[in-house]
Structure 1
Amino acid sequence: MTKRHTGLALALVLAASLSGCGSHPAGTPAAAAAETPFWRAEFDGSAGTRPAEESWNTETGNREAEGWGNNELQYYTQDAANSALDGAGHLLLSARPVSAGSELPCWTQDFCSWTSARLTTEGKVALTRGRVEVRAKLPTGTGLLPAIWMLGDNGRRWPGQGEIDICEVVGAEPRTVYGTAHGPTYFNENGLGGSASLPADASRAFHTYAVDKEPRRITWSVDGKPYFTLTPSKLPSPRDWVFEQDMHLLLNVAVGGDWPGPPDASTPVPATMEVDYVRFYGEGRG
C-alpha cells in the first residue's frame, strides 16, 4: 500500500561521525555519478508553478489513509501553498497550520491541524537499478518528519512491496540522517538501516542524499560518503529480499504521529523541504 509506516525505534547499524528518457547500464557508485541521468527533475519554472504532472502525482487526505499509518496530523493537499516551485530552481514542500475555519478530516481527531504535501512518481518514473540522488534542504523542529524514500512497484501490499528510505530526519535529531529498508519480515521498528551525522542541522544547508541500488546490494550515502550497505546476508531468515524490482520515489513532510511525536510552539512555520534536484542514473522508467 502507499501509506507511510513509521512508529520506528529503528534497528540501526550506526555510522559515525527530471524530465528526460532512456536507460544506461548500472555500475559502481562512482561510475553512476559520472553518467548522464536517464531522468531528472531540476524544477526550473515560475514561482508558484506546480511540479510537472507527467512525472509527479500529488497524494491528498488523511482520514481515509488512516493517518498515513503513523497517526499523523497533516492533511496532504494539492495547494501551491504546500507544494510549488519557488522560481529559483527549487521545489518547495511546506507544512503549515491550517487556516481558521478549515475542516479537513483527520484519522486521530475530528479535523487535521496541519496541511502539507506528499508527491510521488508512482506509475510514471521508477528506478530498476542504479543510483538516485536528491539534493535537498530538510526542515527540522519538534514534531517534524521530512522524508525522501522509495516504494516497490511489485503490486504487493506493504511491507511486501518493499521500501527504501533514502533519508529521514526526525525533528528532535536535526543533525542525524536515517536510511532504512523495510520488507516482508523486517519493517517498522525492525527495519534495517544506518545513520549519518551532519555538521549542522539539516535545515541549514543543502546535502545530496543518495542510494545506490545494485543487484542484491543497497548503499546509502550523504554528500558522496557511504554510511550503510545492506545485502541479503544481513536480512533475518528467510532472507526475503524484495528490491530487485522497479521502485518509485516519494517526497513528503509529515507532522506529528507516533514517530516523531507532536509539534509544539517551537515548530517552525512553515516547515519547508527545499529540493534542488532529483536525478536517476542507471536503468529504469522515466
Structure 2
Amino acid sequence: MMKIKNYMKKVGTFTFLLLFGFQSCSSGSDASDGTPVLPAPSNLTVKMEVVGKTTAKPDGDGSGKVHFTFNAANAISYKVLIDGQAKDLTNGNLTYEFTASGTKNYPIIVSAYNAAGQFVSKTTSVTVFVARKILWADEFDVNGSPNTSKWGYDLGTGNGFGNNELQYYTNRPENVIIENGILKIKAIKEEYMGSHYTSSRMLTKGKFSFKYGRAEVRAKLPVGGGTWPAFWMLGDNIDTVQWPACGEVDILESVGNNPNVNHSSLHSPGRSGNTPDTKTTTVPNSATEFHIYAAEWSAESIKFYVDDNLFYTYVNSASTPFNQNFFLILNLAMGGNFGGTVDPNFTNATFEVDYVRVYN
C-alpha cells in the first residue's frame, strides 16, 4: 500500500491538471443554444489480462506484458496513466510491457471521454512479475583486444583525473587484453610518457548507458600496496554539468593497502570527496577468488551487494543526480588520494574480470 500511496503522490498533480483541462472543455455542451447535450460517459470498466498468468504463476510468465480492455458507455476515447506514462487511446485496447524486474503492484488511472470532453475516471492496479533480463553484457569470450563496439578508453596521465594517481592509462595489449575468457587490466611499473606506472581505464561512454536496473561484475582483484581497482558509473551528462553534478556510483572499489575490503559509494553535489554516502564490506580471498559485485538501482533506492549479500542501501529521490542514464567504467589505478602509497617492491598486478552484465 505504501508503494501505491507514494506513486499516487507523484502522479497526483499531473493527473489533476490533465483531468481538469478536459473538464473545462466540457462546458461547451449547453442545451440553451440549441446544441444537443451529449450523454456523459458512464459505467467505466477495466479488464486486465496478465500474459502467462496461471495458478502456479499468478503474476504472469515474467514477460511483463498485460492486455487491458477499457469500456464505458458514450465514450469515444480514453486516457491512461500507467507506470508514470500517459497514453492516449482512440479505442479501449492497450497492451503494455512493464520492464522493472521483480513482482510489483502498479496503480493505473483510466479516464473515458465523449466528444464534448466530459469524462468518467477510475483508479485500479495490477500486480505483475517481470523476469530479470540482460540489457547489455560483455562475457570477454574472444581473445585479444576488448570489443570496440562496447568499450572505449580514457587515455593519459592519472593526474588529469583529479585523484593524484600515478599511472598513465593506455589501450596497449600490455595493459589490457582478453585471454581465455578473462579480461585482464594490468598495472605495470615502468617509465612511460613521464609516468612511473601504466594501466588501463575502459568505459562504455557513447556506446552504452542505462537508467535503472542491475549492474554487476565478476572479478578477482589485484595484489599490491597502491593498487586501486574499480567498477563504477558516471552520469551521461558529465560533459555538460561536470562532476560531481553528473553523479557517480562506485560499485566496486578496493585498495591493496587494505585488502579484502570493498567500498561502495555515491558522489553528488556537496557529497563529493569524502562522501558520507558510503559503506564497506569484507570480501575474503578477493585476490584469489572471483566474487560478484553488484548494484540494483531504482528511483527509490540503490542497493549494493557482494555475492548477492546486501550490505548497503542508499535512499534515492528525485533531488539526486541518480535518475538519468549512466555509463560503465572499469579501471585499475595506482596510488593517489585513495590508493595510497605504492609498495616500493611493486612490479605489476592484474585486475581480472570474468564478465560485466546489466539487467533490467
Same fold (TM over 0.5): yes
- Which has a greater percent of helix? 2
Match of 1:26 in 2: 100
CA–CA distance in structure 1, aligned partners of residues 100 and 154 of structure 2:
30
CA–CA distance in structure 1, aligned partners of residues 309 and 325 of structure 2:
25
Tell me if the contact between 2:99 and 2:130 (Cα under 8 Å) persists in the aligned partners.
no
1:58 matched to 2:140? The reply is no
Among 264, 269, 274, the residue aligned to 2:352:
274
Q: Which amino acid aligns with 1:208?
A: I
**SS state of the match for residue 80, structure 1?**
coil
1:85 matched to 2:178? The reply is yes
Among 258, 265, 271, the residue aligned to 1:173:
258
The offset of 1:82, in angstroms, is 0.3
- Which has a greater percent of strand? 2
CA–CA distance in structure 1, aligned partners of residues 197 and 98 of structure 2:
41
Quick one: structure 1 residues 24 and 33, their matched pair in 2 at CA, closer, same or farther if it must change by over 3 Å?
A: closer
Match of 2:16 in 1: none
Mind listing any 5+ residue stretches in structure 1 that lack a counterpart?
A: 1-22, 105-110, 234-238
Match of 1:14 in 2: none
Cα displacement string for residues 24-72 of structure 1 (whole angstroms, at most 9, x for unaligned residues): 812249x9995231111001112xx11011110011101xx64421111
Among 164, 170, 183, the residue aligned to 1:71:
164
The offset of 1:163, in angstroms, is 0.2
Tell me if the contact between 1:84 and 1:93 (Cα under 8 Å) persists in the aligned partners.
yes
1:254 matched to 2:337? The reply is no
Tell me if the contact between 1:153 and 1:248 (Cα under 8 Å) persists in the aligned partners.
yes
Q: Which amino acid aligns with 1:114?
A: Y
CA–CA distance in structure 1, aligned partners of residues 247 and 336 of structure 2:
22
Among 311, 318, 322, the residue aligned to 1:243:
322
Mind listing any 5+ residue stretches in structure 2 that lack a counterpart?
A: 1-96, 104-127
Q: How does 1:104-123 map to 2 (within 5 A)?
A: 104=193, 111-123=194-206
Tell me if the contact between 1:185 and 1:240 (Cα under 8 Å) persists in the aligned partners.
no
Quick one: structure 1 residues 81 and 216, their matched pair in 2 at CA, closer, same or farther if it must change by over 3 Å?
A: same
Among 292, 304, 309, the residue aligned to 1:220:
304
**SS state of the match for residue 128, structure 1?**
coil
TM-score between both structures, scaled by the size of structure 2: 0.62
CA–CA distance in structure 1, aligned partners of residues 129 and 204 of structure 2:
21
CA–CA distance in structure 2, aligned partners of residues 191 and 271 of structure 1:
30
Larger Rg belongs to: 2
Greater RCO (Cα-Cα under 8 Å, separation 6 or more): 1
**SS state of the match for residue 259, structure 1?**
helix
Cα displacement string for residues 71-99 of structure 1 (whole angstroms, at most 9, x for unaligned residues): 1110001100101101x11111000011x
The offset of 1:266, in angstroms, is 4.1
1:206 matched to 2:290? The reply is yes
CA–CA distance in structure 1, aligned partners of residues 188 and 341 of structure 2:
14
